[in-house]
Amino acid sequence: MTDASRPAPQDTMIDILGVNKWFGDFHALKNVSLSVAKGEKIVVCGPSGSGKSTMIRLINRLERHESGRIMVDGIEVADDVKAIEAIRREVGMVFQNFNLFPHLTVLENLMLAPVWVRKTPKKEAEETARQLLARVRIPEQADKYPGQLSGGQQQRVAIARALAMRPKVMLFDEPTSALDPEMIKEVLDVMIELAEEGMTMVVVTHEMGFARTVADCIVFMDQGEIVETGAPKEFFAAPKTDRAKLFLSQILGH
């Protein structure tokens, strides 16, 4: 990464600098640096085990980095619990397996964090929740339990749940990998809309169509390193490294 490509500090939402992460003896992230500007959409791709998920899980401290520095919206991600909770309030996350709360209805899932973390009055939280469900096109499912919904619907609820906190950044950790093929589109459509509205997004995905449409920047990772970054056009047309060429030929080659 060149310094010229880095956004000016006041526009930076996420700044990852020289971060290392080990799982036991396994060096999962090697000296990773990445900057995300406000409103920027970044797609992270790479073979499995390359550290993509680990990297975005560092941003809201679901994993702990051993060295280097991570700043989110001007707050350092470190051991301070209050700081971590402050960061998590501003960073929404969508998981591969949805992770909706099965004992709560869809509406309650959406209201939980606003009511208990943001102290939003219940009535207001419910209104926002219903608006968000309409936005992800499932207003009629508000009173059902997650287990009664299809995978695609569950993932859209999960996106709405993250948005209910009015986050400044959204992290997506392989949001369509656990879905049946016919449900992928309904989730991607919601994500594309979100991107068009100017949300800052970091998305780990293998959906290259999505990457082409919305990404400002593609980050290609392999074996715990960021191997290549670039605009989607250049990345897909002329990858600079052999590893990226190999990866692209494997996922696009059929």
227 binds other proteins (CB under 8 A): no
Q: How far is the CB of 7 from other proteins (least distance, A)?
A: 25
Of 37, 70, 93, 160, the residue at the interface with other proteins (CB under 8 A) is 93
In whole angstroms, how close is the CB of 146 to other proteins at the nearest point? 5
Q: In this chain, which of 50, 53, 60, 120 binds other proteins, going by CB under 8 A?
A: 60
Does position 247 interact with other proteins (CB under 8 A)? The reply is no
Burial 192-215 (b: 16+ CB within 10 A, else e): eebbeeebbbbbbbbbbebbebbb
CA distance 177 to 97: 8
- Which of 54, 95, 168, 208 forms a contact with other proteins (CB under 8 A)? 95
Measured CA to CA in angstroms, residue 178 lies from 10, 110, 146, 169 at distances of 37, 21, 15, 22
Are 91 and 169 contacting, i.e. CB atoms less than 8 angstroms apart? Answer: yes
Which pair of structure tokens corresponds to residue 187?
């989730």
Determine if 98 is a binding residue for other proteins (CB under 8 A).
yes
**Residues 165, 183, 184, 188: which binds other proteins (CB under 8 A)?**
165
φ/ψ (deg, to 5) at 200: -75, 125
Alpha-carbon span 126 to 110, nearest angstrom: 8
| Number of residues in contact with other proteins under rule CB under 8 A | 29
Which segments of 12-75 does DSSP mark as H helices, in order?
52-59
Helix, strand or coil for residue 243? helix
The HSE-up count of residue 3 (CA atoms within 13 Å, CB side) is 1
- Least distance in Å: CB of 84 to other proteins? 8
Measured between alpha carbons, how far is residue 19 from residues 39, 41, 81, 183 in Å? 23, 21, 20, 35
Binding window for other proteins (CB under 8 A); candidates: 7-15, 69-77, 132-140, 157-165: 157-165
Residue 71 CB, nearest approach to other proteins (Å): 17
Query: Segment near other proteins (CB under 8 A), from 86-94, 121-129, 133-141, 236-244?
Result: 86-94
Tell which one of 16, 70, 71, 91 touches other proteins (CB under 8 A): 91
User: What is the closest distance, in whole angstroms, from the C-beta atom of residue 10 to other proteins in the complex?
Assistant: 24
Does residue 97 interact with other proteins by CB under 8 A? yes
- Which residues of this chain interact with other proteins, rule CB under 8 A? 60-62, 85-86, 88-89, 91-93, 95, 97-103, 112-113, 116-117, 145-148, 161-162, 165
